[in-house]
A = this chain, B = another copy of it.
Amino acid sequence: MRESVYIKYLRTIQGASRDVLKGIGDDTAVVRVPKGLCVLTTDTLLDGTHFRLKDTGPRELGRKAVASSLSDVAAMGCRATLALISVAFPHSTPMRFARRLARGLNDTAARYGVTVVGGDTVTGRGPLLINVTVFGVADGLRPVLRSGARAGDTVMVTGRLGGSILGRHLRFEPRLEEAVYLNKNYRLHSMIDISDGLSLDLAHILEESDVGAIMYKDRIPVSRAAHRLARKTGKTPLYHALSDGEDYELLFTLSRPQAERLAKKNPLNIPLTVIGHVRRDNVKGLYLRDEAGRLRRIKPEGYEHV
């Protein structure tokens, strides 16, 4: 493929927005940004590390690259508005493949109200690499950090967890709408999206907040995919729910009264589960409590790319 031909194609599929004064085609994009707090995140997917091209079509790969960055904005309780997308193509990439990837990238952005305002296209001797940078706005809300969990907080999670490798890692919905709704209507103390795996991502919250937590073994929402995967791996479905990465669900903490109000109402169209609480006794680390009330410290395990 030739870069210049691909870039011309990108200009034809470029979306528009009232707040984008100049998109692709100048030295930089020019955008109008509301005063206040904004969020910025970037995510790279590399063939052979984060996906295998032979197992993944270009459209679904584009979808995933954008959706996983959007999930990071969701994890802050913020609204994603703009994206910059850079792709390094191997020299041998057919234009047909490049166009399909671009469609996967742009359609996904558009679907979530995000305008692609720029990027960079290079070709070289490396494997396919996709870098997505997303810009978002807080709209007057407070971005929800990992570091705000407090003693006594209830720990909640959206969706059902585990086994996403069986397909959901390509089809997940970034929880943008849900996250903004929660941030607007509840006083969230901390939040993260589950990309590394429930136990590891909860450990990130605990570490940044300098607290410990107890998860209730019988309350973890285990997905059907986790059950199916467990039959293949010989591990338990719970293991997969705790340790598998790429669920892209929201994991958050809030005060017990707030959590009770939320759990009672469940205003979202997706499962919402109380799975544990932040310890009040100042003991750090992550613990799993079984049905008999026994506590076991667990070493956070999760999906780490090697």
Most chain B CB within 10 A, of A25, A26, A118, is at A26
B contact residues around A147 at 8 Å (CB): 26
Chain A residues 1-37 with CB under 8 Å of chain B are 3, 21-22, 25-37
Evaluate contact between A120 and B36: CB separation under 8 angstroms.
no
Evaluate contact between B30 and A39: CB separation under 8 angstroms.
yes
Nearest B residue (CB) for A136? B28
Rounded to whole Å, the gap between the CB of A148 and the closest CB of chain B is 10
Rounded to whole Å, the gap between the CB of A157 and the closest CB of chain B is 15
Evaluate contact between A49 and B129: CB separation under 8 angstroms.
no
Counting CB contacts under 8 A, is A305 at the interface? yes
Counting CB contacts under 8 A, is A183 at the interface? no
- Interface of A: prevailing SS: strand
Given contacts A48-B124, A49-B123, A122-B305, contact A30 B37 (CB under 8 A): yes
Q: How large is the interface on A (under 10, 10 to 19, 20 to 34, 35 or more residues)?
A: 35 or more
- Which residue from B31, B34, B40, B48 sits with its C-beta under 8 Å from A84? B40
Interface string of A138-154 (1 = CB under 8 A from B): 10000101110000000
Evaluate contact between B34 and A35: CB separation under 8 angstroms.
yes
Instruction: Kindly report how many copies of this chain are found in the complex they form together.
Output: 2
Given contacts A27-B72, A33-B35, contact A129 B40 (CB under 8 A): no
Evaluate contact between B49 and A145: CB separation under 8 angstroms.
no
**Stretch from A75-83, A96-104, A217-225, A256-264 forming part of the interface with B:** A75-83
Interface string of A108-126 (1 = CB under 8 A from B): 0000000001111011111
B contact residues around A39 at 8 Å (CB): 28-31
* A binding-site residues for B, Cβ under 8 Å: 3, 21-22, 25-44, 46-50, 72-73, 75-76, 78, 82, 84, 86, 88, 117-120, 122-127, 129, 131, 133-136, 138, 143, 145-147, 191-193, 208, 305
- Known: A28-B39, A44-B88; 7 extra A-B contacts, CB below 8 A, are A25-B208, A28-B73, A29-B39, A31-B38, A40-B82, A49-B122, A86-B131
